[in-house]
C-alpha cells in the first residue's frame, strides 16, 4: 500500500497499538496492585482507594444526583467512571511512549502512583496501604517497557512501512497488549475473589451467640401489617433493607479483635470487647431508620427489630461531662456522625445495636455493632462498623456529612408514601385499595389523609404500631373509576403538625412534601 490512504491507515494502526500498549500496562499495574491488596491491605487497592477518595470529595449536589439517578448502583457507576477515565489516561501514556519510551514508562508508573497517594490519604490508612500501588507502578512501567521494546533489526525493513514500527512488530505489540490486558482482567477478578473470601464475615457471624434481651420488644400486633399486596412489610427482611453508605468495600470486622472505645469529655474513658458489650443489658426494639437522601416517595427507609445496648448505659459508665453537647461516633473506615447528646440521653431507645431481625448484624448493616437513634436521620445517628464514641461539643468537632454542607442536626421529617397502586400503573375499575407507609419517628403518627384528584381529603385507616419510633402502614378503600387519577397523601404527626405541602430537596436536612402518584384506571 503506497497510497496516502494506506499511510493514514498505518498511522491510525500505530496510534491504536500505542494506545493498547498503554492500556495494557496500566491495566497490568492496577490489576496486580488490586490482587496484592486483597491479601495484604484491602484498603490499599488503587481502585478502592481512588474510588473512596472520589466519594469523599464528591460535592453534595453530585452525591444527590448520583443517589437519585443510580440509586444503590451509584457505586458501580462510580467505579465504571473511574475505569473509563483510567483507560483514557492509559491510552495517552501509550501514545507518549511512541515519542519517548522512557517518558511513557514514567507516565504509567505515575498513574499507578495516584493509587498510592489516594490510599495514604484515606482516613484509616497506614503506610502498608501504599505498597500495592507502588508495586503496581513498577509492573506498569515494566510491561510498557517490554511491549515497546525496540524491534529486533531483522524484522525492521518492510517496504512502505514508514520510519516508525514495522508491521510484524506492530502486530506483535497489539497481540501482546491484548494478552496482557486479558491477563490483567483475570488478575483483578482473582484479587476481588480472594478479597471477598478473606473479608467474609459469614463464619464470624455464625459463631455469635446472641444473649436473650433483658428488655424484650412487645409482641407485634397482627394489625401492624394491613395485608395488602404491594405494601412493604412492617419489618423489612435484612436482605431487602435499604443500604446507604460511603464504603466501596464492606468493612470486614472480626468481633474477636473488635473494641469499642468510649472517651472524650468523660470522667472514666474505657473500652469494651464484643463479649463485654453482649454481656451488658440488651434491649430489643422495633425502630425505623430513614436516610436524609430519601426523596418524597423514595425507597431509603425501613423498619427492623434491633437488639442492642442503650447508649445511655454505655455513656453513664463513662460519666459524661455536662458541657458535652455532641456524641461523635466513628466507623472503622473513618466515617463519622455527630449526634446531639440530648437525643441519646433523653430516655429514648438509642442503641448500640448488635442484631437486626433476630440475627447478628449483616456485614452491610454494620457488623459487629452500629448505632440506631430513633427520630434522627441515619447520617447523624446510625454509624455502622462502630469503633468509637466520643463525648465532645459541636464547637469542637464536625462529622463527615456536616463537613460537606449537610445539616448538623436532622430530625426525621413527617412523611407518607403511596405504594399501592404503583405510580403510572394501570388498574382495572372497581373496588381497590390505596395504601402505603408513613413515618414521623419519635413523634408518632396521628392521622393520614388521602385525596383523589380534587375530591375532599379522606382519613385513612392506620396499621398498628408498637411505639412512636416506627413507621405505620395505612390504607383506604377506593372505588376506581375509568380515567386518569392523581392520588395524594399527607400525614399528621402526633404533635398535631400536618406534613407541609411545600417541596424541599433532601439536601441539606431531608425532603419534604406530599407524595403524589398518577394512575390510569381502565
Ligand X SMILES: Nc1nc2c(c(=O)[nH]1)N[C@H]1C(S)=C(S)[C@@H](COP(=O)(O)O)O[C@H]1N2
Q: Which residues bind ligand X (CB under 6 A)?
A: 241-247, 289, 291, 331, 333, 335, 365, 378-379, 382-385
Binding letters toward Mo ion, positions 276-305, x by CB under 5 A: ---------------x--------------
Beta carbon of residue 353, minimum distance to ligand X (angstroms, whole number): 10
Q: How many residues bind Mo ion (CB under 5 A)?
A: 4
Residue 245's binding partner out of Mo ion, ligand X, none, with CB under 5 to 8 Å set by partner kind: ligand X
- Residue 208 neighbours by CB distance under 10 Å: 18
Beta carbon of residue 387, minimum distance to ligand X (angstroms, whole number): 9
Closest to 331 measured CA to CA, from 402, 277, 263, 382: 382
Residue 365's binding partner out of ligand X, Mo ion, none, with CB under 5 to 8 Å set by partner kind: ligand X
With respect to Mo ion, which residue has the nearer C-beta, 58 or 520? 58
DSSP state of 236: P
| Nearest-angstrom CA–CA distance, 288 and 413 | 13
Beta carbon of residue 352, minimum distance to ligand X (angstroms, whole number): 13
Nearest residue to ligand X, by Cβ distance, number only: 378
3-state secondary structure of 501: coil
Binding letters toward Mo ion, positions 376-395, x by CB under 5 A: --xx----------------
| Nearest-angstrom CA–CA distance, 100 and 105 | 9
Please state, in angstroms and as integers, the Cα–Cα distance from residue 355 to each residue in 48, 426, 502, 522, following that order.
Answer: 28, 40, 38, 46
Beta carbon of residue 425, minimum distance to ligand X (angstroms, whole number): 27
Beta carbon of residue 435, minimum distance to Mo ion (angstroms, whole number): 25
Which residues make Cβ contacts (< 8 Å) with residue 484, sequence separation at least 6? 518, 519, 520, 521
With respect to ligand X, which residue has the nearer C-beta, 241 or 258? 241
Beta carbon of residue 245, minimum distance to Mo ion (angstroms, whole number): 8
Site for Mo ion in 238-257 (CB under 5 A): 244
Beta carbon of residue 382, minimum distance to ligand X (angstroms, whole number): 4
Residue 241's binding partner out of Mo ion, ligand X, none, with CB under 5 to 8 Å set by partner kind: ligand X
Residue 122's binding partner out of ligand X, Mo ion, none, with CB under 5 to 8 Å set by partner kind: none
Number of H helices, E strands in the chain: 12, 19
Residue 278's binding partner out of Mo ion, ligand X, none, with CB under 5 to 8 Å set by partner kind: none
With respect to ligand X, which residue has the nearer C-beta, 360 or 378? 378
With respect to ligand X, which residue has the nearer C-beta, 26 or 372? 372
Closest to 336 measured CA to CA, from 243, 201, 242, 246: 246
| Nearest-angstrom CA–CA distance, 107 and 21 | 13
Residue 29's binding partner out of ligand X, Mo ion, none, with CB under 5 to 8 Å set by partner kind: none
Matching residue, cell 475505569? 83
With respect to ligand X, which residue has the nearer C-beta, 382 or 438? 382
Crossing angle between the packed helical segments 46-57 and 74-99, to the nearest 10 degrees: 120
Residue-wise DSSP of 155-223: G---TT--SS--HHHHHHHHHHHHHHHHHHHHHHHHHHHHHHHHT--HHHHHT--PPPPSBPPPPPPGG
Beta carbon of residue 24, minimum distance to ligand X (angstroms, whole number): 35
With respect to Mo ion, which residue has the nearer C-beta, 107 or 511? 511
Residue 242's binding partner out of Mo ion, ligand X, none, with CB under 5 to 8 Å set by partner kind: ligand X
With respect to Mo ion, which residue has the nearer C-beta, 32 or 441? 441
Residue 297's binding partner out of ligand X, Mo ion, none, with CB under 5 to 8 Å set by partner kind: none
Beta carbon of residue 401, minimum distance to ligand X (angstroms, whole number): 7
Contact stretch for Mo ion (CB under 5 A) within 10-18, 319-327, 370-378, 391-399: 370-378
Which residues make Cβ contacts (< 8 Å) with residue 122, sequence separation at least 6? 43, 49, 52, 53, 129, 334
367 in Cβ contact with 275 (< 8 Å): no
Residue 382's binding partner out of ligand X, Mo ion, none, with CB under 5 to 8 Å set by partner kind: ligand X
- Scanning 58-166, the segments in alpha helix (DSSP H) are 60-70, 74-99, 101-121, 131-147
DSSP state of 519: E
With respect to ligand X, which residue has the nearer C-beta, 291 or 416? 291
With respect to ligand X, which residue has the nearer C-beta, 361 or 435? 361
With respect to ligand X, which residue has the nearer C-beta, 377 or 478? 377
3-state secondary structure of 483: strand
- Residue 267 neighbours by CB distance under 10 Å: 9
Residue 147 grid cell: 511491549
With respect to ligand X, which residue has the nearer C-beta, 191 or 378? 378
Beta carbon of residue 384, minimum distance to Mo ion (angstroms, whole number): 11
Q: Output the 3-class SS for 237-265.
A: CHHHCCCCCCCCCCCCCCCCCCEEEEEEC
Please state, in angstroms and as integers, the Cα–Cα distance from residue 66 to each residue in 44, 75, 155, 192, 382, following that order.
Answer: 25, 9, 52, 24, 21
Nearest residue to Mo ion, by Cβ distance, number only: 291
Instruction: Please give the residue ranges that form the binding site for Mo ion (CB under 5 A).
Output: 244, 291, 378-379
Amino acid at each position: 500500500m503506497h497510497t496516502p490512504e494506506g499511510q493514514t491507515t498505518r498511522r491510525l494502526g500505530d496510534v491504536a497499538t500505542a494506545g493498547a500498549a498503554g492500556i495494557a500496562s496500566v491495566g497490568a499495574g492496577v490489576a496486580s496492585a488490586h490482587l496484592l491488596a486483597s491479601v495484604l491491605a484491602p484498603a490499599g487497592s488503587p481502585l478502592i482507594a481512588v474510588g473512596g477518595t472520589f466519594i469523599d470529595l464528591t460535592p453534595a449536589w453530585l452525591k444527590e444526583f448520583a443517589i437519585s439517578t443510580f440509586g444503590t448502583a451509584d457505586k458501580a457507576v462510580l467505579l465504571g467512571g473511574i475505569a473509563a477515565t483510567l483507560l483514557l489516561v492509559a491510552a495517552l501514556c501509550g501514545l507518549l511512549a511512541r515519542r519517548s519510551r522512557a517518558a511513557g514508562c514514567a507516565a504509567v508508573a505515575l498513574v499507578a502512583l495516584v493509587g498510592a497517594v489516594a490510599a495514604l490519604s484515606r482516613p484509616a490508612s497506614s503506610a502498608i496501604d501504599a505498597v500495592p500501588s507502588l508495586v503496581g507502578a513498577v509492573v506498569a512501567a515494566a510491561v510498557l517497557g517490554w511491549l515497546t521494546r525496540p524491534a529486533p533489526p531483522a524484522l525492521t525493513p518492510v517496504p512502505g512501512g514508514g520510519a516508525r514500527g514495522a508491521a510484524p512488530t506492530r502486530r506483535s505489540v497489539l497481540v501482546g497488549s491484548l494478552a496482557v490486558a486479558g491477563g490483567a482482567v483475570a488478575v483483578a477478578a482473582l484479587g476481588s475473589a480472594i478479597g471477598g473470601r478473606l473479608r467474609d464475615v459469614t463464619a464470624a457471624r455464625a459463631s455469635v451467640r446472641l444473649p436473650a434481651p433483658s428488655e424484650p420488644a412487645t409482641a407485634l400486633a397482627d394489625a401492624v401489617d394491613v395485608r395488602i399486596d404491594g405494601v412493604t412489610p412492617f419489618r423489612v427482611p435484612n436482605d431487602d433493607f435499604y443500604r446507604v453508605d460511603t464504603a466501596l468495600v464492606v468493612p470486614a470486622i472480626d468481633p474477636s479483635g473488635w473494641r469499642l472505645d468510649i472517651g472524650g469529655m468523660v470522667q472514666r474513658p474505657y473500652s469494651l470487647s464484643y463479649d463485654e458489650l453482649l454481656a451488658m443489658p440488651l434491649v430489643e426494639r422495633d425502630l425505623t431508620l430513614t436516610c436524609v437522601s430519601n426523596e418524597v416517595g423514595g425507597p431509603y427507609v425501613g423498619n427492623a427489630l434491633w437488639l442492642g445496648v442503650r447508649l445511655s448505659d454505655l455513656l453513664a459508665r463513662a460519666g459524661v461531662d455536662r458541657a458535652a453537647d455532641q456524641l461523635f461516633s466513628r466507623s472503622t473506615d473513618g466515617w463519622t456522625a455527630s449526634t446531639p447528646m440530648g437525643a441519646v440521653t433523653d430516655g429514648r431507645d438509642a442503641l448500640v445495636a448488635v442484631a437486626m431481625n433476630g440475627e447478628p448484624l449483616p456485614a452491610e448493616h454494620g457488623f459487629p455493632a452500629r448505632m440506631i437513634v430513633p427520630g434522627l436521620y441515619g447520617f447523624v445517628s446510625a454509624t455502622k462498623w462502630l469503633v468509637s464514641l466520643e463525648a465532645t461539643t459541636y464547637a469542637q468537632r464536625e462529622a463527615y456529612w456536616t463537613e460537606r454542607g449537610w445539616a448538623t442536626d436532622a430530625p426525621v421529617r413527617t412523611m407518607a408514601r403511596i405504594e399501592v397502586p404503583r405510580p403510572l400503573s394501570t388498574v382495572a375499575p372497581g373496588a381497590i385499595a390505596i395504601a402505603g407507609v408513613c413515618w414521623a419517628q419519635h413523634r408518632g403518627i396521628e392521622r393520614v389523609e388521602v385525596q383523589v384528584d380534587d375530591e375532599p381529603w379522606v382519613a385513612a385507616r392506620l396499621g398498628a404500631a408498637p411505639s412512636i419510633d416506627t413507621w405505620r402502614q395505612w390504607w383506604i378503600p377506593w372505588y376506581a373509576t375509568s380515567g386518569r387519577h392523581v392520588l395524594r397523601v399527607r400525614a399528621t404527626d402526633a404533635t398535631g403538625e400536618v406534613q407541609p405541602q411545600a417541596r424541599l430537596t433532601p439536601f441539606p436536612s431531608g425532603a419534604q412534601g406530599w407524595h403524589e402518584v398518577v394512575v390510569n384506571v381502565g
